[in-house]
Structures are given as structure tokens and as C-alpha cells.
Structure 1
Amino acid sequence: MEKYDVCIIGGGPAGYAAAMRAVDFRKKVLLIEKERIGGAGIHNGALSSKTWWELSREAYALRMLCESTHLPTPQHDYQTLKSEVDKAVSTRRELLEHHMHNLNLNSQGDYFHFVRGLGKVVKDRIVSVHTVDGEDIEIEADNIILATGSRPRKLDHIPIDEETILTSDGIENLKEFPKSMVIVGAGVIGCEFATIFSNFGQTRVHIIDKGQRILPFEDEDVVQIIEKNLESKGVLVHRNSQLVEMKVENGLVVYTLEYDNGSKEVFHVEKALVSVGRVPNYENLISAQVKVDIDHRGIIDDLTQTSIPNIFAIGDITADIALVNVGELEGRYAVEKMFGNPVKPLLYENISTIMFLAPEVAGVGLNEVKARDMGISYKVVCLDYSCISRAIAMRNTTGFIKIIVSNDEEMRILGMRVIGEHASSSIEAVALLISMGKGIEELAELIHPHPSIIEGIQECVRMLLNKSMLKPGVLRQSMRCACFVDGELKNVEFN
């Protein structure tokens, strides 16, 4: 029986990152993947959907240009666009495969090993593998990492066939742009696909929202901009609605909604996309005699370590945040925990996120919704993009920068939200300060390139210090200063 220092089941972002970190420690590592290397981080997930988003942005910009110059609006061929998405996916997958297959040549040692097949933990240190060639083998490993990811959640009362009623996994099955589509679920993934299809302008998009607004976990000022932009592209948001029934009749999706007032309404569309979250892949992963604690949310872990000390769980399979960057972070941390002392503790407070909407939304740390739920007293400043020279130069002033700090003299940074162009490139300095537990002074006099969106960060900080160049008392529609104290949000001017 072959023996390894660490065996990793799952070759997605988390598992791959863990394997590469184990190579750094010169450990003998086995990576097992049943299908395609890269997991949902590349296929049917982050990379593929974001490539669709990038293409849709360009299509929308072209559409707006044609309309403003009275030129014919182009129609986009779905299969041509899909081939571009496939190329992006293949480029990344081939890079990882080339790197993986040639790793030992550069490492000057026989550290990394890869098997394509299904892995299962049968004992605390034994993993059985059913390879794609039909061979059954067992290996021994001092440490085991579970990184088998997640899949789209399905609902029992919706007949998902991945042809007419789809999950995000079935998007690649489309042959052309549907004339109409309903999206079940108004969270991030649902809103991203609503953005993508409405950007192309060839699909009438409906989105079902149980509450009063989409993205219920996000701040209202962010949601207002996203909703306004979606509706300007013809997206119909079914607010305060409950899906009573969805079925396929004569090749069309027929769905019935019941509203809060008790009324019902029936709609007909070509396709449906069910986007109601994801569930962990842990079925048939662990034998019954291996007592790893699991609940409905995933494998229970304590900073990646399960109830069995030498078995670790990382990425979407756990109950933690299901993001590619989080999975990679957890993978690296788990290996460092095994073979060395991690330089820093595993923290989730400064994780940066991007929502690929219109416009894009980037965030780190707490937003106002979360801070209020936690009962935190905070100060908040918000600067509209109309006050930022770069946004004016881009002729796109939709958006704002918002910084949230503790309501004390220290003004420790709690979180930040940016919505607008270049949002994702605007948050890293703040993310670093959050991880360091620092206040805002470091940003106050930092010289940013001009003109740039990130100059708005400096102006926000100066607002907190009551020394901004533009004065909130004058530009009340573009600058906001407020405090949340004793359950009430009050507009103020900080001294």
C-alpha cells in the first residue's frame, strides 16, 4: 500500500491550493479528482460565469453606443459567445494541468502525485480510490483533506431537467438566447445571471424575490442602484412573491406566484434558472465507521480541522463562506497547520468579495446590515462617484464608496463597500487595515494616483476626520456622514 504525507480528495480551488502548499513543505502529496481539475472555480462557476459577465458588459456598451448613434443594434450568437467562454475555461484548466504534470521536474523531488478517480475515506488514515480506468486501490495517508466542493441546490417541487429548467450547471446546455427566462432566487448568483442575460438584450428576464428587494443581505443603498439598473434593462422583479408551482408545458415553463396580499398570477417563459444556493458534496465520501461530524450545512470544522484530528475539511464542503478565495485560503492554512505553525490565524473578517452586477459591487468586512444585526455602534461615510474625477472622466458616475468604522476615537475600520466602475480594485488597502485591526489614519494622507477611483477612499477618510476637501454640509446629495447608535441611524457631521 502506497503511503503519503497528505491525501487531498477534490481538485477544485481549495484542494489544488492545499496540494501546492504541501509541495512547499516537501511533503509527499496525492491529489484525487474525479472529473476536471479546477472544480466549480473554473467550470460552471466563477471563471465561466465571470467570462459571460465580461462579454455581456461589452455587448451592453455596444448596444448603448448603437442606440445613441442611431445605428442598428447587433444581435449576438449564443454559440459564438459560448465558444469564447469555453476558451477561457480551457486556458485556465490547461495552465493548471501543465503546471501539475510538470511540477516534480521543478521541485527536484517526487513530491506531487495525481490520480483521476473517486476517493473515499474508509479509515482514519486509509483512502480507497476507484480510478477512471476502473481500478480499485487503497492508499495510506498521515493526513487527509476533504475538498469536494458543492453543487447547485435543487428544490423538490421544481422539475429541474437542465434543459428547460436549469441550474447554473445547465447554462452551457443552452443552444441560443431564450426569448424569456425566469430566475428563482434573488441572491448573488441569481442577480449575476439576471445582469448577464439582460445586458445582451435578447432575453426578457424575470426574477422572483420573496422579500421587498433583491440581495436582502446587502445594504439598501447598494440594492437601490442594482435594482434600478436591472429594471432599466427590462428585468421584471417579482417582489413579495412565493413560487407556488413551476412546470413545463408544451416546451415552455409555466410558473405560478402568490403575492403577500394573497393574489396569484401565472406566467409563461421559455426557460427557468433555479439559483437558490449550493449544497456540499459529501455523499459517499466517508465510510460510516469514520466518525466525522457533519450537519445539513456541511462538514463541521474548527479552523479546517474536523472531529478526527488528522482529517481536515476545506472549501465549500464546510459550513464556512463558499468563495474561491476562501477555499484557497483554507487549503493553505490546513497544510500549514499540519506541517508548521501558520504565520497568521485564519480570519474571515477581511475577506474581499465581488458581486458581478451592473455596476460591480466590491466589499470587505461588515456592511451596515450586518453591523446592525450584531448591535455594533458605528460611524459611516459615503462618497458618491459624482465627486470623483476619474468617474467623471469615464462619463460614468453611477456608484459610491462607503467606509464603516467603530464609533469611538480609534475609528477602527469595520468594513467597506464600493459600487461602480473599478470597484474591485478599490478595497485591498482597507482589507489589509482590517486584518491588522488598524484605524483610518494610515489612509488619510496617503497619496493616490490621479485621477483614480481610489482617491475617493481618501476623501471618505478625511470626511471622518472632518477635514475633507469637499464638505458634506454643502454636497448633501453626494456625501453622507452618519452614526448608528442605540438602534437609530442619525446623519451627522463628524468633528
Structure 2
Amino acid sequence: MEQYDLVIIGAGPSGYAAAMRAVDLKKKTLLIEKSVLGGAGITNGALSSKTLWELSRDMLAFRKNLDRYHMQSPKAVWKEIQLEVQNAVEERVDLLKSHLHELQKNLKYSPYIDFIAGEASIVSEHIVEIETSNERLAFETENIIIATGSRPRYLPNIPIDEKHILTSDGIEQMDDFPKSMVIVGAGVIGCEYATIFSGFGQTKVYLIDKGDSILPFEDPDVVAVIEKNLEAQGVHIHRSSSLTHMERKNGKVVYKLDFSDGHQETFEVDKALVSVGRVPNYENLWKEAVPIKMGQRGVEDNDTKTSVKNIYAVGDITADINLVNVGELEGRYAVEKIFGTPVKKLVYENISTIMFLNPEVAGVGYNEKTAQEKGLNYKVVTTDYSTIARAVAKRNTQGFIKLLVTDDEEMKILGMRVVGEQASAAIQAVALLINMNKGIEELAECVHPHPSITEGIQESVRALLNKSILKSGLLKDKVNCYCYNCEKNERAMI
């Protein structure tokens, strides 16, 4: 029986990253994938949906510019959109395949990496079996990393068929733009798809929201911008509503809602998208003799280590944050933990995120809701995009920068949200400072390119230091600083 230092089950973002780190450390590694290299990070997930978002954003901007020149807007062709998404997915998968192939040909790397396409099963703590298309294989290994990812969550009372009632696995396989669509779930993914389909301008979108507002984990000022734009694009938000029934009827989708004020309504649409989270892929992955503990949301892990001493879990199969960048981080970290000591501890508080909405929303660290839940006193500055020359030049000043720091002399950065054009490009410097546990002085005097969105971050920092060009509170809703006292639960302008 062939032996390995490490067997990795799943070649999505976390598994592939883990394998490449093991290659760095010259450990004999077997990577196993039963479906497609890249996993849901590429197919029916991050890359494919974000390609849809980019195309939708282009179409929305195109329509707006045509209005400016009094020209009639053409319609997007779904088959062409679908083909572009498929091309993006194939490009990325081909890149990973080519890279893996070159690794296995290269004498420097080939002793450390093998790949098998098949379905794996952990028979014991050190034995992994693989069922391929024509044989069953078994291998011995010192260590195992589980990186099998996740799939869309189904609700028991919704008859999902991936034709009329869909999840993200089926949404890209539609024959055409539906004339109407309801989205169940007003979290990040639901709001992203509402943004995408309303942006193309050919689908009336309905969004079911159990609460009073979408994105319930975000601050109200962030939510207000996104809600305003969704509704401006024709999205109807069913606020304070509960889905009580959904069925396929005569080629349509009929759904019934109970509202918090006691009344009921029934609606009919062409398609429904169920976006209520994801569940880990672990079924039939290990035998009963392997005592891996499961929690309510996935495999229980302590710093990527499972209840079995030589088996680790990374990515969406755990109860941690389900993001591609987090999965890659966990995969690399687990390998370093197995074969040595990681240089840095694995932390989740300062992960950079982006929500592909209209406009995009980038974040790192705490927002006000989180800071208040943790009982922190803080200072905050908000700087409107209308004060940033680059945003003015782009003729798109909707959005703002919001920076939280500790309410003391050090003013260490707690978190930031950027809502607006190029938000994701503006956040990384602050993410680095948070990771380094630094204050804001470094940003105050850094010379930023002009004009750029990051100049707005610099002006925000200067406002907190009382040396801004635009003084806080003088221009209504442009630049404002205030402090929050946790014990008193009150704000005070600075």
C-alpha cells in the first residue's frame, strides 16, 4: 500500500491551497477530487456568480450612459451572458489543471504531489480509500485534511427542482432571463442575486426579508444605501414577511407570505431562487470507526484540528466563515500546523470581505453593531464619497467610508466599511494595520495617488486626528466624527 505524508480530500480553494503549501514543505501529498478542480469557489459559486455580477454591472452602467445620450438601451442576451460565465469558469479550471500537470512533470515538485479523480472515504485514522471510475484504491497516510466544501441548503417545505425553484447550483443553467423571480433570503447571497438580475433590467425581482431590513448583520447606514438602490432598480422587498407556502403550478411558482401585521398575500412568478445558506459536504466521508465530531453547522475543529489527532478540517465543512479567502488561509495554516509551527495564529476577526451589491461594500474588522455587542467604546468617522475627487470624476458619488477606532489616545483601528465604487481596492491598507495592531497615524501622512478613492480614507483619519482639510460637522452629512459610550449607550459628536 502506497504511503503519503498527507492526503487531502477535496480540491476546492482550501484543499488546493493546502496541497500547494505541502509541496512547499516537500511533503509527499495526495490530492483527491470527485468533481471539478476549484470546487464551488469556481463553479456555481464565487467566480461564476461574481462574473455574473460584473456583467450585470456593465449592463446597468451601459443603460445609464445611454439614457444620458438619449439612446435606447438594447437587451442583454442570456445565452451570451451564460457563455461568458462558462468561459470564465473554464479559464480558471484550465489554469489549475495546467498548473497541476506542470507540477507533476517538474522534477523539483513531482515527488511531492499526486492527484486522483474519485470519491474518497476515510476508513481509519490512517487509511483512505478512493473509488474512481473503474477501480477502488487504498492508501496509507500520516495525516488527513478534509476540504470537501459545502452545497446550498434546502428547506423541507420548498420543492426545489433546479428548473423552476432553484438554488445557486441551478441558477446559471436557466434557458433565458425570467420575467419575474422571487429570492428567498435577504442575506449577502440573496442580495447579490437581486442586484445581478435587477441590473440586467429584464427581470422583476422580489426579495423576501423576515426582518425590517435586508443584511441584518450590517449597520443601518450601509443597509440604507443598498436598499435604496435595489428599489430604484425595481426590486420589491417583502419586509417583515414569512414564507408559508411555495409550489410549482402551471409552469409558474406560486408562493404565500404571512406578514408581521397579520395579513397574508399570494404571488406568482416565473422562477424562485432559494438562498438560505449552505451545508457542509460530509455524508459517507468517513466510517463509523473514525470518531470525527460534528456540530450543528459542520465538523467541530479547534484551530483546524478535528477530534481525531491526525485529521484536520478546513473551508466550508467547518463551522467557521464560508469564504474562499478564509478557506485558503485555513488550508495553508493546517499544513503548517501539521508539519511545524505556523508563523501567525489563525484569527477570523480581521478578515477582509466584499459584498457584490450596488454599490459594492467592502469591510474588515468590526462594524458598529459588532463593536456595541462586544461592549466597546469607540470613535467613528464617516466620509461621504462626494468629498472624494476620484468619485466626483467618475460621476458617481454615492457611498461613504466609515472608520472605527478605539476611544483612547492610541486610536487603534477596530474596523472599516467602504460603500461605493472601488470599495474593495480601498480597504487593504487598513486591513494590514488592523492585523499589525496599529493605530491610524501611519495613514494620516501617507501620500496617496491623486485622484484616488483611498484619499477618502486619509481624510477620514485626519478628521479623527483633528487635522482634516474638510472639518467635521461643517458640511451636512459629508464628514462627521462622533464617539460612542457603551455604558451610557449614547453618541456624542466630536
| TM over 0.5, shorter chain | yes
Matches within 5 A, 1:4-153: 4-106=4-106, 108=108, 109-131=110-132, 133-153=133-153
With the length of structure 1 as denominator, give the TM-score of the two structures. Answer: 0.98
The answer as to 2:299 corresponding to 1:304 is no
1:249 aligns to what? 249
- Give the conservation status (yes or no) of the 8 Å contact 1:372–1:487: no
How many angstroms does 1:489 deviate by? Answer: 3.6
- Quote the offset at 1:68 in angstroms: 2.6
Work out the CA distance in 2 between the residues paired with 1:123 and 1:390: 59
Letter in 2 for 1:165: I
Q: 1:289 aligns to what?
A: 289
SS in 2 for 1:70: coil
Q: Deviations over 1:163-220 (max 9, x none)?
A: 0000000012201000000000000000000000000000000000000000000111
Question: Compared with structure 1, are the counterparts of its residues 487 and 320 closer, same or farther at alpha carbon in structure 2 (3 Å cutoff)?
Answer: farther
Q: Secondary structure at the match of 2:118?
A: strand
Matching of residues 111-260 of structure 1 within 5 Å: 111-131=112-132, 133-260=133-260
Distance in 2, Cα, partners of 1:491 & 1:60: 40
| Offset of residue 107 of structure 1 | 5.0
CA contact (8 A) 1:226 1:358 kept: yes
What code does the residue aligned with 2:75 have? Q
Tell me how far apart the structure 2 counterparts of residues 467 and 246 of structure 1 sit (CA, whole Å). 57
Structure 1: which amino acid aligns with 2:168?
S
CA distance in structure 1 between the partners assigned to 2:107 and 2:432 by the alignment: 32
What residue is the counterpart of 2:343 in the other structure? 343
Task: Verify the 8 A CA contact 2:258 2:264 in the aligned structure 1.
Answer: yes
SS class of match (1:254):
strand
SS at match of 1:302: coil
How far the C-alpha of 1:371 sits from its partner, in A, is 1.1
Could you list the per-position Cα deviations for residues 89-132 of structure 1 after superposition, in whole angstroms to 9, with x for gaps in the alignment? Answer: 0000000000011103335242110000111111011111111x
Partner of 2:354: 354
Task: Give the drift of 1:21.
Answer: 0.3
Question: Distance between the aligned counterparts of 1:357 and 1:32, measured in 2?
Answer: 35
Aligned to 1:455: 455
- Root-mean-square deviation (CA), in Å? 0.9
Q: 266-275 or 108-117: which moved more?
A: 108-117
Q: CA deviation at 1:234?
A: 0.4
Render the CA deviation track for 1:361-403: whole Å, top value 9, x for unaligned: 0000111111111111111111000010110011100000111
What's 2:405 paired with? 405
Letter in 2 for 1:237: I
**Identity score, percent:** 61
Q: Which runs of 5+ in 2 are unaligned?
A: none
Question: Using a 3 Å threshold, how does the CA distance of structure 1 residues 112 and 46 change in structure 2: closer, same or farther?
Answer: same
- The Cα of 1:448 is off from its aligned counterpart by 0.5
Q: Which residue of 2 aligns with 1:324?
A: 324
Q: 2:267 is aligned with what amino acid? A: F
Query: TM-score scaled to structure 2, two decimals?
Result: 0.98
Match in the other structure for 2:481:
481
Q: Report the AA paired with residue 282 of structure 1.
A: Y
SS of residue in 1 equivalent to 2:175: coil
Q: Aligned pairs, how many?
A: 492
Task: State the distance in 1 between where 2:136 and 2:480 align.
Answer: 64
Query: Counterparts of 1:298 and 1:491 in 2: how far apart (Å)?
Result: 42
Contact 1:405 / 1:412 at 8 angstroms: preserved in 2?
A: yes
User: What residue in structure 2 maps to residue 490 of structure 1?
Assistant: 491
Deviations 1:231-289 (A, max 9, x none): 00100000000001000110100000010011000000000000000001111111111
CA displacement 1:462-482 (0-9 Å, x = unmatched): 111111110113113111212
Cα distance in 2 for residues equivalent to 1:488 and 1:393: 39
CA contact (8 A) 1:482 1:489 kept: no
Question: Which range moved further: 297-306 or 62-71?
Answer: 62-71
Q: Which amino acid is 1:77 matched to?
A: V
Task: Name the residue aligned to 2:390.
Answer: 390
Structure 2 CA distance, aligned partners of 1:384 and 1:231? 21
Contact 2:473 2:481 in 1 (8 A): no
Q: Residues 78, 278 of structure 1: CA spacing in aligned structure 2 closer, same or farther, 3 A cutoff?
A: same
Q: Supply the distance in 2 between the matched residues of 1:436 and 1:64 (Cα, whole angstroms).
A: 42
C-alpha displacement of 1:340: 2.0
- Amino acid of the structure 2 residue aligned with 1:252: K
- Cα pair 1:480 1:491 within 8 Å, conserved: no
Paired residues of 1:349 and 1:435 also in contact (CA < 8 A)? no
Q: Distance in 1 between matches of 2:482 and 2:260?
A: 33
- 1:380 matched residue in structure 2: 380
Distance 1:259 1:110 in 2: 62
- Separation in structure 1 between the aligned mates of residue 123 and residue 472 of structure 2, nearest angstrom: 63
* CA distance, structure 2, for counterparts of residue 45 and residue 352 of structure 1: 18
Counterparts of 1:319 and 1:179 in 2: how far apart (Å)? 37
Quick one: distance in 2 between partners of 1:81 and 1:248?
Answer: 26
Any stretches of 5+ residues in structure 1 without a counterpart? none
**1:134 and 1:188 mapped to 2: Cα distance?**
41
